[in-house]
Structure 1
Amino acid sequence: MKKITLFLIVVLPTIILAQQNAWKGYFSYNEITDVTTNENKVIASTKNSLFSKETTIGNLVTFTSINEVKPATITTIYQSSTQHTFIGNENGLIIIIKPDGSVVNKPDIILEVPVPPNKKKINDFYEYNGKIYVATQYGITVINLSNLEIDETYYIGSAGESLDVLQTTVFNNEIYAVTRTQGIKKALLSNPFLYDYSQWTVFDGGFWIGLVTFNNQLVGANTNSILYKFIGNTTQQFGTFGSTGIKLKTSANYLVFLANYQIQVYNQNLSLESLVYNIPDYPDYFTGATTLNNKLYIGTSKNGVFETPIPNTNTFTSISPNGPIQDYSFRIKKTTDELWITHGGFDRTYTPDYKHEGISTYQVNSGWNKIAKENFPDVVSLGTILENNLNKKQKFICSNHKGLLKIVDKTAFTLLDQTNTGANGLESLYYAPDPNYKSTRPNSLIQDKEGNIWMTNAYVNKGLKVLRSNGSWQSYDLSSLIQDATNERYGNMEIDKNGTKWMATFFNGVVAFNEKYNNKTIVINTSQGLPDSDVRCVALDKKGQLWIGNYKGLRIINNVDRFLSENELTATNIVIQEGDLAQELFYQQTIQDIYVDGSNNKWVSIADAGVFHVSSNGQRTLHRFTKENSPLPSNNVLDIEIDEVSGEVFFATDKGTVSFLGSSTKGSDNLENAYVYPNPVRPEYTGTVKIAGLMDKVNLKITDIEGNLVFETTSQGGTVEWDTTAFGKYKVASGVYMIFISSNDAAETTVKKIMIIR
């Protein structure tokens, strides 16, 4: 395969990438941005996805990056009379889901509208007479429903400038536009010169939230917290609201007014039918509201969509799909039988974000569950997760502000910090203006083979801590070895087979430490080959190499055993050949995470550039996944995790978690559970055959029924892929093929058969 470096813009035509069933999505449907209805369907959006539910049969469908819906940030949605779903985004992108489920992306506004990129937000869609009027931050864009193309754009500012339009409506053959700063404007809909701003006049010069046509009259919501109907140019009050208003919309036979903490539903006579201030047991603010079949559907900022009857009886039913607490996933961990996700975090300088959202867990049989933040109300910025190998019911999670959270069986919670870990335990940073300020910042959780749990502690001299398997704590002072220890912050840590701890730091490169060798320490910084002192991550591979993810590139230590015999270590780069040009792998790129898979290949996350899967020596690119060429919802991959049994590779991003079913699995202890899939291989199948459940480094040969060899390899990890060709030259013919598998010492052997149908 051709080697591809980061600075080449390509789409890898890998066979497995084309198979959507190789990907899974783990999205949240709690953070709702809008709700709409059509016929018997409720549709709701989050910032990153969409779901619809049939109210009659309960059929639920989700639209995410897995099925090609890749929004920037969804701001509004609408389903047309032609059953097209329109999705508006913060950056001007319009995504259209056709009735057959196919997806059309319209970047016309992003590419063609001559206003700053941060002034292209889609505010609202309005349908009239075969056209969709798109209210945006710059004006109005008109889409023709017959061909889904843009007809024209109106800039209606008082001098022809762009103007933030919140909503449009049509009444008595006049089009009305609610603007943020210049009141309500109107023009004759049949006027062929609507693109001329001078054709638009001010209907009302006040400040309005929304305007709709309802029961053959104009109805508006003003920023003065009053609802009005218009009789000609005269306003008549019919309602008030006491919370920040968001939107006014019509649906079925009702008028719905949405505010942060209030929803009002009016009938056709503008009499109040329902009034909702809150949803019991779900303290939250409202983000969307609509009606269908005498039911009100409410979108919330953190708890999904609820259904309640009209008039309201204080009965609320959640209709959102199950999922994690939120899409922003900071750290992810595959434990023995679950997937754990934390939603906190810190920025590049390790400043905590102070988020407090709880923990999401997923189990195949029971689906998603959450460990509510009420169990540890003061703990924020949750990050790295560790399962105690000596007691798998215990999980430890770093809070980058409050200490170390210990969870037992998901029911008992203990916060470990400077108050209860003793003189050799965790420490709070010292803040001169307020000596009583407490902020305890552990990171880098990792367990050694004796069961001791190691971690770093930022902003203190004794920056390396260990919770011994017997429950005692110990600290190691790094201040004599690294500069300005009380200002140092740490990335992750690895422990090699000799017990050496390799720590990524913010200011001092990589710090290597081993207490078994008289507290020996080596610092690897820019003087020892690093391109920058800021090391974001480190990873040990199966050959004893340390891969160093730097703020400005990649480096490796060729043999970590050298730490034992040498007093200085030098990091080197990896040079790859691209045609006639030799280039440094990941030159000057910010590396966020590195994960070594069962085959010793590396998954590398590059800031805002997706993920690379490179061979064990970095010379070949096996996969390159970005938002543009794969179901990744974002190019900002914050964490990578692998289920070493199944080979599933998880990517935690700022816009949701997805996984790719890889083939790099951990080697088994024997060949008893070796299997082949798919089997048989049918004509329509275009992927690879996988021989899984293998021991590491088995010898594998595939022959036809007559004994002619067509494939041979040595496994790396527990899975081998075969592209069903004879040594890559041509596709093998239909027939039965024999797979002979033997361990390196020939003590374990097995034979499998596979049928190929062309």
Structure 2
Amino acid sequence: MKRLFLILLVLSQWSWAQDFSNQWEAFFSYSNIIDLEQNGDLIYAASDNSIFVYDTLLGSFETITTVNGLSGESISQIHYSEAKNLLIIAFNNGLIQVVPETGDVINVVAIRDKQTISPVEKGVNEFLERGDLLYMATDFGIAIYNLELLEFDDTYFIGDNGAQLAINSIDVSGGFIYAATSNGGMRRASISNPFLLDFMNWTQINNDSWDEVTTFNNSVYAVTQGRFVGTPNGSGSFSGIGLQLPARSTDAHVNQDFITYATTDFVLVYDTNFNEIFRVDDINGESYNYTSAILFNDNLFIGTETAGMLRVKISNPIDNEFIIADGPAFNSVFSVQTLPNELWVTYGSHDVFYTPDNAIRGISHLVEEGWINYSNTEVSGLRSIPKVTINPDNPNDLVVHSMNNGLIDFIDGVAGTQYGINNSTLESILPPSEFFVRIPDGAYDSQGNLWVIQSQVDNALHRRSPSGQWTSFDVGSVYEEVSSSSSTTKILVTRDDKIIFGSTDGGLIGYDPALDQYSRLTEGLQEGDLINNYISTIRIDQRDQLWIGSNLGLRVLTSVNSLFSDDIQDTRAIIIEDVDDIPRELLRDEAVLDIEVDGNNNKWVATGSSGVFLFSPSGSETIFQFTKNNSPLPDNEVRDIAIDETTGLIYFATKNGLVAFKGDRASKPQENLENVYAFPNPVRPGFDGNVTIDGLTNRARVKITDIEGNLVFEKVSQGGSIQWDTRSFSGNKVASGVYMLFISTDDNIETTVSKLMIVR
């Protein structure tokens, strides 16, 4: 009974994270290194919310991302336990994830779910391993985790009267545990005292503000926020050793006879007498912000905020290199556009009112060989780049948009002409300034004309002919809502070269260039019956239906051509039945940020807070809903979607990273049943999505039974795959066990059998 109680106690504190590597890919940035750890010949580099592992002997990389089970939250610190062969990752929201050698990820939620600790004070500032125990310096105190039992031990609140106190650094020396704080001085207690839970057993021995405390050369050395290095004196307080660092310490690391301090501008290595033996400031004349440093053999590995990990050889400083796993320049992805086997990424965002963030981040291009990241200077210094528009007649010809200073031609990876108020019809919202020329979107027609929309001006629509001639269209004189007080949003061109674009206040506008006529849908009855006049995204499906997203939901116009007819049709909502069989409007009150249509006319819909949905062609059936809880999505706000029909990848852009689902290609009907498989398999505890049975022929019949032959699910495929929510005909989730998949083609000529394991 005691053993069972222990197992239940452990399970209440952690759970297995789901591995999605069979059906997802991750594309995270590794430019900003938060922390470094060493394990033998391996260097672990933690970036914003993912990790790359560098093999110093082979020069190779592995990555650990949300696809492998990481949470996608921002990382505060990492630690590698050589004794237990465990990687421990701490996140700013208090979640701890433990990664054993098997690669399976364990979620430890005790700190994250602790209601009495402020959400902004749950990150870990430093780890200290002693025996089976891992001490964590946090913003609320010292938490202790048992690496053998995989459970939390005690938590020490050592502030005055037992209050929570932010601990920046901890270490043990001479029988004492030291805690360096910003507001509570240096505190210590006897490490052998069995009552360290009692704050009265902790003594404040100094009133300074401290960044670091480190055991080195059989003594304790600490660094004040004034950058002075001190060590305990005979009275138990600290005395300076006559050394002041050139900047505040961000990290300290001991390697045998050397101690390394990383500061924002410098990395310094000292010997046991605190003689400086090596210093890194700039590299090849360029300065970087440093975050952490590890001395390993004759190499200094340094984390930077923008350039990944730097290696500098101590004995030969000119032998240096930047080491970074392949990825985009930044994690905060705003838009994505695909070509066959290629992807373009932008980072410049704007808010719901289309006010730009003035980000200076460049753009990125994913090709088969890897990532090509173009700096801001390589795109003519454009700020707040929300989109690139690809010329369908020449995929190497792009137009890069800016929400600040116009747009540029970008051909074969080289910036060309920049268009603004002096060489086009584009206008500034604050004339005569060359800045504040806001171009959120663009599209090409079949004649090679580039159409772009502009925000907060009357001439909201512009056309550039293939010969380079610009023409502006005064939309504000037709619809006063689309003027200097409003922003345009998204634009598309119909099959017969009509123009449709959205706005934040004026509804959905159509323009027929052949007739020079405008039309519009608004929220009024018999005028479109939109949810409201805010249009966030638009898309035409394979049946020429226009899908319209707003910040409050979704509408569908049955025929896109009706927008240009004299008899305007109202749009319709999609009505579905919820779990209680109550009719409701699909995505009501949900911000719809993007809509994409795949080869089967299914609709991928990105939302502002509920992840991404895959709906059937009519929208009446939800095939998938991906969120942070059931997929590798690093955030539930999905800003943009792009589909590569060649690879079958569906890319999802979020502010915390870019991931892709391997979906479309696999969902097409197969000629036979030779490659049938189910994923995820096994289904692990905590998984709340659908199981997909893929590799099917069209109209294949799938029967699922338990091991005793009881039928629990049956369906006929409408393409190359089906989804099962792991519920039986009764509506209840099936129990743990092995389930048999009996599959036959429409003509019953071919059959196959497969297995699926479910673990609750």
What TM-score results when the alignment is normalised by the length of structure 1? 0.86
Structure 1: 5+ residue runs without aligned partners?
Answer: 1-16, 668-673, 693-698, 704-709, 741-751
Alignment of 1:69-84 (within 5 A): 69-80=70-81, 81-84=83-86
Instruction: State the SS of the aligned residue for 1:535.
Output: coil
The answer to whether 1:225 aligns with 2:227 is yes
Equivalent residue number for residue 573 of structure 1: 573
Distance of aligned partners of 1:87 and 1:516 in 2 relative to their CA distance in 1, 3 Å threshold: same
Equivalent residue number for residue 7 of structure 2: none
TM-superposed CA distance for 1:42, in Å, is: 0.8
- The one-letter amino acid paired with 1:506 is T
Equivalent residue number for residue 695 of structure 2: 690
Q: Which moved more, 1:181-190 or 1:112-121?
A: 112-121
TM-superposed CA distance for 1:311, in Å, is: 4.5
Equivalent residue number for residue 350 of structure 2: 346
Deviations 1:525-566 (A, max 9, x none): 355422333221111111121111111111111212212322
Equivalent residue number for residue 138 of structure 2: 136
The answer to whether 1:388 aligns with 2:391 is yes
- Find the partner of 1:469 among 466, 471, 474: 466
Asked if the contact 1:522–1:567 (Cα under 8 Å) also holds between the matched residues in 2, the reply is no
Equivalent residue number for residue 497 of structure 1: 495
Equivalent residue number for residue 688 of structure 2: none
CA separation in 1, counterparts of 2:743 and 2:572?
A: 48
Asked if the contact 1:336–1:392 (Cα under 8 Å) also holds between the matched residues in 2, the reply is no
- The one-letter amino acid paired with 2:566 is E
- Find the partner of 1:197 among 191, 199, 208: 199
Alignment of 1:472-551 (within 5 A): 472-480=469-477, 481-483=479-481, 485-525=483-523, 528-551=528-551
TM-superposed CA distance for 1:211, in Å, is: 0.7
Equivalent residue number for residue 6 of structure 1: none
CA separation in 1, counterparts of 2:20 and 2:140?
A: 40
CA separation in 1, counterparts of 2:256 and 2:78?
A: 17
Equivalent residue number for residue 165 of structure 2: 163
CA separation in 1, counterparts of 2:678 and 2:603?
A: 33
Coordinate RMSD, CA, aligned: 3.0
Distance of aligned partners of 1:547 and 1:632 in 2 relative to their CA distance in 1, 3 Å threshold: same
CA separation in 1, counterparts of 2:359 and 2:181?
A: 34
Distance of aligned partners of 1:546 and 1:291 in 2 relative to their CA distance in 1, 3 Å threshold: same
The answer to whether 1:291 aligns with 2:292 is no
- The one-letter amino acid paired with 1:35 is L
The answer to whether 1:636 aligns with 2:633 is no
Deviations 1:368-407 (A, max 9, x none): 1122222235211112111112332211111111111210
Asked if the contact 1:123–1:166 (Cα under 8 Å) also holds between the matched residues in 2, the reply is yes
Asked if the contact 2:693–2:722 (Cα under 8 Å) also holds between the matched residues in 1, the reply is yes
CA separation in 2, counterparts of 1:123 and 1:282?
A: 29
- The one-letter amino acid paired with 1:614 is F
Deviations 1:179-204 (A, max 9, x none): 11111111112222222222211121
Instruction: State the SS of the aligned residue for 1:375.
Output: helix
CA separation in 2, counterparts of 1:62 and 1:647?
A: 22
The answer to whether 1:104 aligns with 2:106 is yes
Asked if the contact 1:604–1:611 (Cα under 8 Å) also holds between the matched residues in 2, the reply is yes
CA separation in 1, counterparts of 2:395 and 2:206?
A: 66
CA separation in 2, counterparts of 1:58 and 1:100?
A: 22
Instruction: State the SS of the aligned residue for 1:561.
Output: helix
CA separation in 2, counterparts of 1:24 and 1:754?
A: 31
CA separation in 2, counterparts of 1:203 and 1:682?
A: 64
Asked if the contact 1:298–1:306 (Cα under 8 Å) also holds between the matched residues in 2, the reply is yes
Distance of aligned partners of 1:208 and 1:636 in 2 relative to their CA distance in 1, 3 Å threshold: same
Instruction: State the SS of the aligned residue for 2:440.
Output: strand
- Find the partner of 2:456 among 454, 459, 466: 459
Distance of aligned partners of 1:282 and 1:388 in 2 relative to their CA distance in 1, 3 Å threshold: farther
Instruction: State the SS of the aligned residue for 1:297.
Output: strand
Percent identical: 27
Asked if the contact 1:53–1:60 (Cα under 8 Å) also holds between the matched residues in 2, the reply is yes
CA separation in 1, counterparts of 2:211 and 2:334?
A: 36
Equivalent residue number for residue 302 of structure 1: 306
CA separation in 2, counterparts of 1:175 and 1:153?
A: 14
CA separation in 2, counterparts of 1:683 and 1:160?
A: 53
Q: Which moved more, 1:344-353 or 1:656-665?
A: 656-665
Distance of aligned partners of 1:641 and 1:723 in 2 relative to their CA distance in 1, 3 Å threshold: closer
Asked if the contact 2:20–2:632 (Cα under 8 Å) also holds between the matched residues in 1, the reply is no
Asked if the contact 1:641–1:649 (Cα under 8 Å) also holds between the matched residues in 2, the reply is yes
Distance of aligned partners of 1:25 and 1:108 in 2 relative to their CA distance in 1, 3 Å threshold: same
Alignment of 1:642-657 (within 5 A): 642-657=643-658
Equivalent residue number for residue 404 of structure 2: 401
What TM-score results when the alignment is normalised by the length of structure 2? 0.86
The answer to whether 1:268 aligns with 2:268 is no
Asked if the contact 2:44–2:52 (Cα under 8 Å) also holds between the matched residues in 1, the reply is yes
Q: Number of matched residues?
A: 698
Distance of aligned partners of 1:200 and 1:597 in 2 relative to their CA distance in 1, 3 Å threshold: same
CA separation in 1, counterparts of 2:321 and 2:201?
A: 48
TM-superposed CA distance for 1:33, in Å, is: 0.8
Alignment of 1:702-741 (within 5 A): 720-721=720-721
Equivalent residue number for residue 662 of structure 2: 661
Distance of aligned partners of 1:163 and 1:526 in 2 relative to their CA distance in 1, 3 Å threshold: farther
Asked if the contact 1:186–1:201 (Cα under 8 Å) also holds between the matched residues in 2, the reply is yes
Instruction: State the SS of the aligned residue for 2:307.
Output: coil
Deviations 1:583-613 (A, max 9, x none): 1100111111111111111111111221000
Asked if the contact 1:275–1:312 (Cα under 8 Å) also holds between the matched residues in 2, the reply is no
Equivalent residue number for residue 209 of structure 1: 211
Equivalent residue number for residue 628 of structure 2: 627
- The one-letter amino acid paired with 1:222 is T
Asked if the contact 2:22–2:680 (Cα under 8 Å) also holds between the matched residues in 1, the reply is no
Distance of aligned partners of 1:650 and 1:430 in 2 relative to their CA distance in 1, 3 Å threshold: same
Distance of aligned partners of 1:677 and 1:128 in 2 relative to their CA distance in 1, 3 Å threshold: farther
Deviations 1:117-148 (A, max 9, x none): 12222211111232111111111111112112
Asked if the contact 1:254–1:267 (Cα under 8 Å) also holds between the matched residues in 2, the reply is yes
CA separation in 1, counterparts of 2:493 and 2:569?
A: 17
CA separation in 1, counterparts of 2:348 and 2:285?
A: 23
- The one-letter amino acid paired with 2:416 is F
Equivalent residue number for residue 448 of structure 1: 445
CA separation in 1, counterparts of 2:260 and 2:243?
A: 12
